[in-house]
Chains A and B, each alone.
Chain A
Amino acid sequence: MPCMTRSMDNLQQEGPLLDVYFSLPEGLEKKLKAEGKQVPAPIHCKALIDTGASNCVVQEEIPTKLNLNPTGETTITTPSCESCKCYTYYMRLTIPVNKIIIETIFTAAPLKNQEIDCLFGRDALSNCVFIYIGYAGQFTLSV
């Protein structure tokens, strides 16, 4: 099980943050390459492991930058909005440390502040071990 551990000086304030890359899913990348089409470069961003999020979320501009089309629609409820419709995208997320790769559905929504472009939610965590050691300012994610 690939695993990464990160120590942060300000874990309590910032939350468990990961450097990640978004790219096209493998199936689409293969198709574009077979057709001789250009594959967009991966996009670097910050992801927050969020146990308060039922599902993974991506900043809505990122699928556009990757020229991706939606593969679904979903309904979300947040503290400020009940039953809002959002598009979903099938994307590949890579954590460079130990090359952890996850392909899953991301809901595209506007994420504000704190330069966070992704919420790593409980749907992705359902296949992981997540250990949060608050007193040490450290967390571990095994996928």
Chain B
Amino acid sequence: MTKKEPLEKEIETYEKNKDRLLAESPGKYVLIQEGKIEGIFESQKDAMNTGFEKFGNVPFLVKKIELVEQKQNFTSNLISITPSETKCHV
């Protein structure tokens, strides 16, 4: 049995429910933990604080509900990540 990456289950849950979330709550923030949608929030801060209050220091996902996710971009080469690294995480 392979060990799951943190947030793998939460991201799967988001993708499964993305169409419905987009139809019902575009632009809002969804809180997902252990495969369960725990709530929809107007602000990221409210979603985070609810997550910490309910679950404490465990992985949970707070994600903006949007059709096209914004990629982050960096012009300097201070970030030493290479294409061979599929995911940079601690």
Contacts and interface: CB of A to CB of B under 8 A. Distances in A.
Nearest to A56: B72
Interface residues of A, number: 52
A73 interface: yes
Interface residues of B, number: 39
Interface in B68-90: 69-83, 85-90
Interface string A34-77: 01000000000000101011110100110110011111111111
Contact of A60 (B48, B73, B89): B89
Interface of A: 25, 27-28, 30-32, 35, 48, 50, 52-55, 57, 60-61, 63-64, 67-87, 90, 103, 105, 107-114, 116, 119
Given A74-B72, A110-B79, A119-B78, 9 more contacts: A28-B57, A67-B57, A76-B72, A78-B81, A80-B82, A85-B86, A85-B87, A110-B81, A119-B74
Interface of B: 6-7, 11, 44-45, 48-49, 51-53, 56-63, 69-83, 85-90
